[in-house]
């Protein structure tokens, strides 16, 4: 669970203080071997500060260092001494969680329409869906490709919940297909930014538990 800095907006003529909350993504490395995590760009303010749990009851754990243009994916560097592992939360079916160590190319034969997908984060709980399309360009949502999928089952409800942006979407082998972006209105259809976009910017997934220095 990650949060932005506090900011002030004007609503109905009155000022209102709030902060944004999203999920963390995956642990990645750049071409120099430095460690970072992925986060949802829209979930953080211009100061780039990353909080856990929130700015009122938590602490700054890192800072945004790069926004990947057109993807709504940002790259954050965590504070020295913090540890991170590419592993989902444990569930009844997978008590030890799922280890994520590869990115799935979002095209056949690696990914097919109707392939099973899953997502697991503190806001949605463990949930499953199916691939509905292998790519789309959504007007007004950036210039990068999206992977479309439709949720067929949620343990904690019947539709994706807010604040899931940035959460990794996995195929049946535990490979990362995409990072959750948004749910379409009045539909169970959701879209994620293809994890392949990370390759385009020189990042790749990192396996095992790692410590930031």
CA gap 184, 181 in Å, rounded: 10
Q: What is the pLDDT of residue 204?
A: 97
Q: How far is CA 70 from the centre of its chain?
A: 15
Q: What is the pLDDT of residue 52?
A: 92
Q: What is the pLDDT of residue 144?
A: 60
What is the pTM for the complete model shown?
0.85
Q: What CA–CA distances, in Å, run from 60 to 71, 73, 159?
A: 24, 19, 31
Q: What is the pLDDT of residue 140?
A: 57
Per-residue pLDDT of the chain (213 residues; tens, 9 = 90+): 799 999 888 888 888 888 988 888 999 999 999 999 999 998 899 999 999 988 888 899 999 999 998 888 999 999 999 999 998 877 777 778 889 989 998 888 988 888 998 888 777 777 888 888 777 666 555 556 667 665 543 334 445 556 678 889 999 999 999 998 877 777 677 788 889 999 999 999 998 899 999
Residues 161-179 as b or e (16 or more Cβ within 10 Å = b): eebbbbbbbbbeebbbbbb
Q: What is the pLDDT of residue 11?
A: 80
Q: What is the pLDDT of residue 203?
A: 98
CA gap 107, 100 in Å, rounded: 19
CA gap 169, 192 in Å, rounded: 8
In angstroms, how far apart are the furthest CA atoms of the chain? 54
Whether the CB-CB separation of 77 and 66 falls below 8 Å is answered with no
């Amino acid at each position: 669970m990650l949060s932005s800095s506090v900011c002030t907006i004007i609503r109905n003529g009155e000022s209102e203080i709030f902060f944004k909350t999203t999920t963390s993504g995956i642990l990645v490395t750049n071409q120099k071997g430095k460690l970072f995590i992925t986060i949802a760009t829209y979930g953080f303010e211009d100061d780039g500060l990353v909080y856990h749990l929130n700015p009122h009851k938590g602490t700054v754990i890192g800072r945004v260092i790069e926004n990947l243009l057109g993807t709504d994916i940002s790259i954050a560097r965590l504070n020295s001494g913090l540890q991170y592992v590419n592993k989902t939360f444990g569930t009844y079916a997978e008590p030890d969680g799922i280890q994520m160590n590869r990115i799935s190319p979002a095209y056949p034969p690696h990914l097919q329409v109707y392939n099973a997908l899953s997502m697991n984060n503190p806001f949605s709980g463990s949930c499953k869906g199916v691939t509905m399309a292998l790519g789309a360009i959504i007007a007004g949502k950036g210039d990068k490709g999206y992977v479309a999928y439709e949720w067929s089952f949620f343990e904690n409800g019947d539709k994706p919940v807010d604040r899931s942006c940035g959460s990794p979407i996995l195929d049946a082998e535990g490979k990362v297909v995409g990072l959750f972006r948004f749910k379409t209105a009045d539909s169970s259809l959701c879209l994620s930014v293809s994890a392949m976009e990370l390759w385009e910017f020189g990042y790749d997934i990192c396996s095992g538990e790692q410590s930031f220095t």
